[in-house]
Amino acid sequence: MPGPYLSLRNVVKSYDDKTQAVAGISIDVARGEFVTLLGPSGSGKTTTLMMIAGFETPNAGVIELNGTDLTRQKPYERNIGVVFQNYALFPHMTVARNVGFPLRMRSASKSEMARRVDAALDMVGLRAFAQRHPRELSGGQQQRVALARGLVFDPDLLLLDEPLGALDKNLREQMQVELKRIHRETGVTMLYVTHDQTEAMTMSDRIAVFNHGRLAQVASPLEVYHRPATRFVGAFVGDSNFLPARRVAGQPGMVALEDIGQARLNDTTALPDRLEVLVRPERIRVLDGGSPPPDVTLTVQVSAIVNYGDSLLVLGQFGTRTLRIRVPESMAHTLSEGATLIVGWTAADMVPMGDAALL
């Protein structure tokens, strides 16, 4: 079985010799993967990307690409493409000259440059704009030019640092589709930095979740969402309810949910004495007379309703706690503030977050 294509081993970066912006992370990326580095601002994801690109130097650790140690190489010695949020296009150059710039730096012939530039612009649908300047393009078109420039020289790796952050919602969604198409067609290995969990969930083969310079979890989007490794991951990715609980002694998998009652978890691994149980809002059902009884039932009073157009977020009070419940928009006419609802969920909807997950 082949080894990893990109490998980071115990990589550390500190700017003041006191605080570690990146605190000893290790991750392997397979050739052709699309891996997203996801996390809040200041979590270390962009610093990690810049170390891979060569714009930052690690204080410790090793970065290897296809068996070559990159750790101390200069950026121009690495065959790596980088796409930034601010595009970084040369305003005095045409689109074609911007895209061809990496090839000129590599002393490509005029015929080779013309062929590759045309192919790159065809890939992003901008061949007709080759002689325009960046100021004559929309934000989305400028981002496509930056993407074409990052791919034109057949990089071993393409790094994207929040490349869609400056675009509006509709254009961002269009570019997500385009990026996945280009990834599929080129097969290039991509590392994508974002704090937008929707981008990470829809585009990635795997997601690496960063928190305080450390990797909290590296897994597929569905694994990250449905089986978060830590409380931070469960809270950061998607909406969530965290219910305090304690283990029921002598009954494997059984917990007592605070203010709710006892329930049996599907996960029967060893549980700590005190824990939290994660339940996603969309997994909670509003029960009626014809509903099959779930594993957990609860009576709540509606304190607020937030309409998202395609769904409703219902805030239900029980005791001193609030339960977040996601229901279809079609239920809008049946719900009102102050109403009493009976809700429920199954054992499969509950994910235990033990003491180790609270770090």
CATH of the domain at 51: 3.40.50.300
Same domain, 215 and 243: no
Cα dihedral across residues 78, 84, 86, 91: positive or negative: positive
CB atoms within 10 A of CB 96: 22
Same domain, 191 and 250: no
CB atoms within 10 A of CB 104: 11
State how far the Cα of 294 lies from the Cα of 263, in Å rounded to an integer. Answer: 11
Residue 9 burial by CB count (10 A; 0-12/13-18/19+): exposed, middle or buried? middle
Same domain, 168 and 209: yes
DSSP 3-state of 160: strand
Whether 167 is in a domain gets the answer yes
State how far the Cα of 243 lies from the Cα of 318, in Å rounded to an integer. Answer: 12
Same domain, 188 and 291: no
Listed residues 172, 203, 235: the one ending a domain: 235
Same domain, 122 and 219: yes
Same domain, 12 and 120: yes
State how far the Cα of 80 lies from the Cα of 5, in Å rounded to an integer. Answer: 13
Same domain, 266 and 206: no
Whether 1 is in a domain gets the answer no
Same domain, 326 and 196: no
Residue 305 burial by CB count (10 A; 0-12/13-18/19+): exposed, middle or buried? middle
State how far the Cα of 137 lies from the Cα of 96, in Å rounded to an integer. Answer: 13
Looking at the structure of the chain, the number of domains it has is: 2
Listed residues 235, 253, 282: the one ending a domain: 235
Same domain, 154 and 12: yes
Listed residues 235, 255, 289: the one ending a domain: 235
pLDDT tens digits for the chain (359 residues)?
A: 567 999 999 999 999 988 999 999 999 999 999 999 999 999 999 999 999 999 999 999 999 999 999 999 999 999 999 998 887 899 999 999 999 999 998 989 999 999 999 999 999 999 999 999 999 998 889 989 999 999 999 999 999 999 888 778 888 888 888 889 999 999 999 999 999 998 999 999 999 999 999 999 999 999 999 999 999 999 999 999 999 999 998 888 899 999 999 999 987 777 889 999 999 999 999 998 776 778 999 999 999 999 998 899 999 999 889 999 999 999 888 899 999 999 999 999 999 986 434 33
Task: Write the CATH number for 341.
Answer: 2.40.50.140
Q: For the segment 262-297, what is each residue's pLDDT rounded down to a tens digit?
A: 999 987 777 889 999 999 999 999 998 776 778 999
Structural domain of 32: 6-235
